[in-house]
Structure formats: C-alpha cells, structure tokens
Amino acid sequence: MKPPLFDYASPETIADAVSALSSNPGAMVLAGGQSLVPAMNFRLASPSVLVDLQRIPGLDTISIDDGVIRVGAMVRHRDLELDDAVNAVHPLIREVMAHVAHVPIRNRGTVVGSLCHADAAAEMPLLLVLTDGAVKAVGPKGERIIAARDLFQFHMTTTRDADEIVTEAHFPVPGTGAGLAFDEFARRHGDYAIAAIGALIEKNGDGTVSRAALAACGIGDRPTRLAASEAALTGTRLDDADLEAAVRAARDEITAPDDMHATNAYRKHLTGALIKRVVAAAAARAK
C-alpha cells in the first residue's frame, strides 16, 4: 500500500506545469491527492511524473462575478463549503458538500480535482452538470472553456487532454427565484452515492414550471442530465401524475449494471424515489 516510483515536479507557474505534463507522457496532475494518492497506494495509478500544483500562486482563490462562482484548482472542498459569500448566492453547494466524503478528506481534497477525477457517482460533477457549469483548461495550445455537458465522458474519464490543466471550475449562480435541492442514497454517510439527484426548478407567476433541470449520478457511466424527465415536468404544476411521468422518463438513463452495492432494478427504484423527493424540495424553494 505504498505509491509506485515516480518523479516529482513542483512548478511555480502554470506554463511550467503544462510543459512538465506535455514533455512527460504518463505525467499526472496532483492537487489535494485525496483520490489520486489512494489510487497510487493501490497501484491503480502509476504516473511517470507527479506535477504538484500547490506552489503555483493564485490557484487557491474563489471569486464571484458576472453571475459565476470561479473556483481555482487548489481550492479545497472545505474552503468552498465554508465560504459565506458563496453560500449566500448558491446555498446548494454547502448542502451537496455535506455528502462529499468526510471533513478531513474535504480539508485536503479539491473541488477541481474531484471534477477531473470524474467518478461517475461523485456529487460535485453532478452539481456542475445540473447548473450548466464549465471548467477552464490550460494546455500547450492555450486555454479553452469546456462545458460540463462536454467534460464528462465516462467513469473517471473527461475530455481534458493529458497535457491540459484545469485551472478553474465555473459554477453559475442560480437565478433569483430558482429552487434547488439535492439528495442521495449511500449505504454509509460520506460514501459515493448509489444514486443521487439534483434538481433546479423555476416557476411562472401562475405556479407552472417554467424551467426544470434534473441531474443524476451513480446510475450510469457519468453524471448526466435527465432531459426526458425535465421535459416531462416543464409546464406542469408538479402534480403526482407529472412526477410519475418524470420518473418513468428517467428509466432508460439508469444504465449502471448490477454491482456489489445495488442491482440495476434497485437503482431504478431509488432514482424514482429521489426524483419525487428532490423535485418537491426544489419546487418548495422556488419563488
């Protein structure tokens, strides 16, 4: 249970970090290390060079402007969770964070690291997908913005190139009046979700749903939007029949095979129950 051999680089600029990545095939980025170091201890990951981002100035900042919360690559989960300015404009972040592992892990693990690790059952990728967020990636060819819907490809696989560094995550601030909620089922608190649902509901003046966003994780090979369920809810008053329709519309999205944690049928059951619960909670918060 010790990491395999690797070379260690501790660059002080993004440019040096990118060049360390692009000149060393098999190099990997190290931020908080709360997913990568255990993977290395298990010998599941064996980087040629570890490029540690912690000495690069400016990566540990959180800013809110133009309706976007920008989270730097070295911002720890706990820092974002406890940031009162963030909580004032996007309270769902703190709620979701309570489900991310445990405080000692959140003290070290980074938000951007979690997004790049892209576990199909992880909460922060779900949140980015739910709110149409994005990440900023810097590589040898310059920087680009990758939308959440284009970022997550497969379990632990993103469209980030191997020589790119994600320097920021962008979480859009929800519109005033939007109601957001999240819930998950896990066997033990802090574990990855067996199934999790996030919802964003906006209502018209007459009480009908003007916009519904639903995202899920743990139920397939990546965090995903439940587009058919969103369509089933839009324009309705969220009566029982509408919620049932949304649950039925999600069934095809639940593709995770039976595993040691749950069967596919059980995940379908959980997803249905969570959709009803979370949509109701989000609707109650919508103004």
Partner 1 sequence: MTQRVANVPVNAVSPDPTATVRLHVNGEEVERTVSVRMLLSDFLRHELGLTGTHVGCEHGVCGACTVMIDGRAGRSCLTLAVQANGHEIRTVESLAGPEGDLHPVQEAFKDCHALQCGYCTPGMIMNVVSHLEADGDLDLTDEGIRDMLSGNLCRCTGYLNIVSAVRRAAELTEQSHTEQAGG
Q: Can you give the binding site for partner 1, defined by CB under 8 A?
A: 1-8, 10, 26, 30, 33-34, 37-38, 40-42, 46-50, 52, 54, 78, 82, 101-105, 107-108, 188-190
Residue 104 or residue 177: which is nearer to partner 1 going by CB?
Answer: 104
Residue 49 or residue 193: which is nearer to partner 1 going by CB?
Answer: 49
Instruction: Measure the CA–CA gap between 200 and 181, rounded to whole angstroms.
Output: 7
Contact predicate 96/198, CB 8 Å:
yes
- For the bound state, the minimum distance from the C-beta of residue 67 to partner 1, rounded and expressed in Å, comes to 28
Residue 107 or residue 264: which is nearer to partner 1 going by CB?
Answer: 107
Residue 5 or residue 241: which is nearer to partner 1 going by CB?
Answer: 5
- For the bound state, the minimum distance from the C-beta of residue 108 to partner 1, rounded and expressed in Å, comes to 5
Residue 26 or residue 177: which is nearer to partner 1 going by CB?
Answer: 26
- For the bound state, the minimum distance from the C-beta of residue 55 to partner 1, rounded and expressed in Å, comes to 9
- For the bound state, the minimum distance from the C-beta of residue 107 to partner 1, rounded and expressed in Å, comes to 4
- For the bound state, the minimum distance from the C-beta of residue 192 to partner 1, rounded and expressed in Å, comes to 12
Nearest to 118 by CA among 70, 155, 163, 64: 155
